[in-house]
Amino acid sequence: MKMNLPNKLTLSRVIAIPFFIVFFIIGIENRYIINSIISIDFYRLLAAFIFVIASITDYYDGKIARKYNLITNFGKLMDPLADKMLVVTALLLLTETKEVHYLCTLVVVLRELTISSIRLVALEKGIVIAASIWGKLKTSSQMVALVLILFKAYTINNVFNVMTYIIFYISTAFVVISLIDYIIKSNDVFTS
């Protein structure tokens, strides 16, 4: 199978995940303390940039696929899976460093498992459940919130830190709303 550009972008997001993990973990052990307020973490910064680039590919793979009619079954399967893998990986790492509360991570993981299960049942029954605006808001707000959290270690601005977590909790609310919306839209899956 020849890979088109959107599929390559999706695959690059999956390939970026191990690099993100490695640099994030190395960064935990290699902080350079400048003073009691500021620390420089080159590897954490590198992990954050990898996450940013991977997140940007999510926007462009879908846009290019729709614009040039390059939508494939591989893309339909792997694009949302790559998003979930990237977001859940970042959440688990940030939970480990206590930058994200474990309950938020648990809500996200349970949502993704629930929706993936519903999709499998729907696929088996030949039912297609269209993505909603809530799912798109969830994904984009999660990516923005996680980028801000990854970079928040480089600022001592309390307003920035508060805004970062407000955006994160809004994205967690979208997780719940999109789950409810998805369950309502998948009513045919349960009743047929």
pLDDT tens digits, 15-61:
999 999 999 998 887 665 555 555 557 888 899 999 999 999 988 99
Q: In a 3-state reduction of DSSP, which class is residue 127?
A: coil
Provide mean pLDDT across the span 122-143.
Answer: 85
What is the token pair recorded at 84?
A: 């979930």
pLDDT the model gives residue 105: 97
Q: What is the DSSP string of 91-122?
A: HHHHHHTTSS-HHHHHHHHHHHHHHHHHHHHH
pTM of the model: 0.88
DSSP H helical segments within the chain, as ranges? Answer: 5-29, 42-67, 73-96, 102-124, 133-152, 158-185, 187-191
Q: Token pair 């688990």 is at which residue?
A: 92
Whether residue 164 contacts residue 93, with contact meaning beta carbons closer than 8 Å, is answered with no
Which residue do the tokens 């973490």 mark? 41
* Pair 132, 181: CB distance under 8 Å: yes
Cα gap 184→187, rounded to integer Å:
5
